[in-house]
Amino acid sequence: MKKKTIVSLLVGAAMLAVTPACTNLDETVYDQLPADSFGATTTQVNALVGSVYKTLRTYFPGSCFYLAENSGSGTVTPTRKGGDWYDGGQFRELFMHTWTANTSAVKNAWGDCSTAIGTCNSTISVLQNATVLSDSEKAQKLAEVRGVRAFWYYVMVDFWGNVPLVTDYADKTLPTCQTRQTVYDWLITEVTAIADQCPDASSANYGKFTKGSAYTLLAKLYLNAEAWGVTVNGNAYQKVIEACDKVMGMDYSLDTNWKDNFIASNQNSKEAILAECFSSSDTNNNNYFMNMTLHYKDKFSLGLSVSTWNGVCAQPDYVKLFDQSDPRFVGTYLTGQQYYKGTTTEIITDHGRPLNHTIDVTMIPGTEYDGTAWGSVNQEDGARCWKWTFADDLTNAMENDFHIFRLADVYLMKAEALLRSGGSVAEATSLVNKIRERAYGNATHDYATVDLAKVQLERRLELAWECWSRQDDIRFGVFDKPLWTASSGLSSGVVRSSGDYLKLFPVSQLAWQSNPNLTQNPGYASFK
């Protein structure tokens, strides 16, 4: 894991410039600048804020994605036949819920989150003392940075529950873990305090933490309160509705074409609320999602010049949830026989098999690893991600931005909150149908009425691959029920572990080695 350069201002550091709209993350180096003078110019202030926005690029793709999707019902990273690679069982642990404090994704995600929070805290410290800004400018930039920090704490509260709460960069004491309730209460207070100080929702503020980002984050916090076991002052679901109404009253709208959210140049989306901004010229913290999902030879059918890993694919029964007449099916998954681009010539794998991405992912008997029932699958098995389109000239990094929050999610959150609170079923139905009508292009697939099961299904159809699988599965009570099953190719001996304690990940062993004041979550082996 590369440590963020902004953690300390005691030496020269690599800083990042910001444009008025989407954050420009190209590096500008200030290698001779003393710490006590940094933040003395507008350029330097913008560089600091840019470093904060760059932290979002470690959320997707990366270890947070693996925790969110591979542990839920959305994706799996199987072991591939032929010795392509084997990770020692790390991805098996994510799927089977047998992770430990040493599981790579657990350690890396904790590191990404805590490093990002450190970057935010250091930036807040400098901004508070910056004299180059007017009072209103300072308030807005502080609100943006505090908003990004709150997002990262929300991620940590979701994944680990009990986490350190550090908001003062000058405090160098080793923190202890605070309860999930304590951090949750701080989050509600913090996000409420900054919400209306954040920039307005507008195309000019794309890529910034806006008022829309703040109220969407509040909606997420209140929607998950019951599942997280935290108490709320008032009716949590009514607060979800109120926060969603705030967002829906802002300058956002559903893109007419659902796929426009995921094209290479998706920065013009009217639906995006909080975006990670990427460029094809990125050299670190870049969007490398095509590497994670595509087969080695998919590049020949897609016309790309990239090296890929042949890793993550969709859980089969998740794909089967889609009506194949739903445009989101072909817009989400790459399936079927692959041909050299512009020809009818089949692509053949190095194992002499047609490159046919089956929906089912079939574990091969006799290939089991480590004394478990977990074996390998054929190279070509599994539906691959086709949600973010790959630019024709893609050679390295993807241009596509990742929309952490988008309006369709807000519609579905409000529908869910209405149903959970005994609110208007008709309004919930209307909200879900707006999403379906946008997907199909007409009202022929509208629901007459919706219940929670239909809302859950629509979230799965609309938000596949977008880091909501684990959180949604916990909230809907199906976290121990994967959608790769024996009927779709999984060995019958592979059983996902269950238990309430698994709804939190273990605190990272690596983090504890750096800070022995951390305490392990219940249900996991003590640190040693």
Per-residue pLDDT tens for 56-105? 999 999 999 999 999 999 999 999 987 677 889 999 999 999 999 999 99
d(CA 6, CA 108): 18
- DSSP characters over 343-383: S-PBPB-TTS-B-EE-SS-PBPTT---TTSS--EE-TT-SP
Residues 6+ apart with CB under 8 A from 71: 94, 95, 97, 99, 469, 470
Torsion of CA 240, 245, 246, 251, to 10 degrees: 130
d(CA 350, CA 236): 54
Given a cut of 70, whether residue 280 has pLDDT beyond it is yes
d(CA 214, CA 240): 12
3-state DSSP assignment of residue 393: coil
Which residue in the block uniquely carries the two structure tokens 């680990």?
160
Mean pLDDT throughout 453-465?
Answer: 98
3-state DSSP assignment of residue 70: helix
- Identify the pLDDT of residue 86: 84
d(CA 261, CA 402): 9
Given a cut of 90, whether residue 22 has pLDDT beyond it is no
3-state DSSP assignment of residue 59: coil
d(CA 468, CA 66): 11
- What letter represents residue 135's amino acid? D
Given a cut of 60, whether residue 384 has pLDDT beyond it is yes
- DSSP characters over 153-183: HHHHHHHTSSEE----TT--SPPPEEPHHHH
pLDDT tens digits for range 119-144: 999 999 999 999 999 999 999 999 99
- What letter represents residue 420's amino acid? R
- Identify the pLDDT of residue 18: 31
pLDDT tens digits for range 391-416: 988 989 999 999 999 999 999 999 99
Q: Is omega for the bond preceding 61 within 30 degrees of 0, making it cis?
A: yes
Ramachandran angles phi, psi of 481, nearest 5°? -120, 90
Q: Which domains are seen in the chain, by residue range?
A: 5-281+403-514 (1.25.40.390)
pLDDT tier at 4 (50, 70, 90 boundaries)? very low
Q: Which residues of 383-394 are buried (b: 16+ CB within 10 A; e: fewer)?
A: bbbbbbbbbeeb
Q: Which pTM does this prediction carry?
A: 0.93
pLDDT tens digits for range 333-367: 999 999 999 999 999 999 999 999 999 999 999 99
Angle at 242 (CA atoms; ends 241, 245), nearest 5 degrees = 85
The tokens describing 278, both together, are 């990427």
pLDDT tier at 315 (50, 70, 90 boundaries)? very high
Given a cut of 60, whether residue 14 has pLDDT beyond it is no
> Which residues sit opposite 276 in a β-bridge?
402
d(CA 419, CA 290): 37
The tokens describing 246, both together, are 């705030």
Given a cut of 70, whether residue 37 has pLDDT beyond it is no
Torsion of CA 513, 517, 523, 527, to 10 degrees: 30
Mean pLDDT computed over every residue of the chain: 92
pLDDT tier at 180 (50, 70, 90 boundaries)? very high
Q: Are 177 and 130 in contact (CB under 8 A)?
A: no
- Identify the pLDDT of residue 26: 38
- Identify the pLDDT of residue 81: 83
pLDDT tier at 528 (50, 70, 90 boundaries)? confident
Given a cut of 60, whether residue 27 has pLDDT beyond it is no
**Strand ranges (DSSP E) for 378-501?**
384-385, 402-406
In the DSSP assignment, the letter for residue 458 is H
Mean pLDDT throughout 197-215?
Answer: 97
Q: Are 208 and 144 in contact (CB under 8 A)?
A: yes
Which residue in the block uniquely carries the two structure tokens 């975006």?
275
- Identify the pLDDT of residue 84: 79
Distance (Å) of CA 518 to CA 150, 506, 527: 20, 11, 9
Mean pLDDT throughout 449-468?
Answer: 98
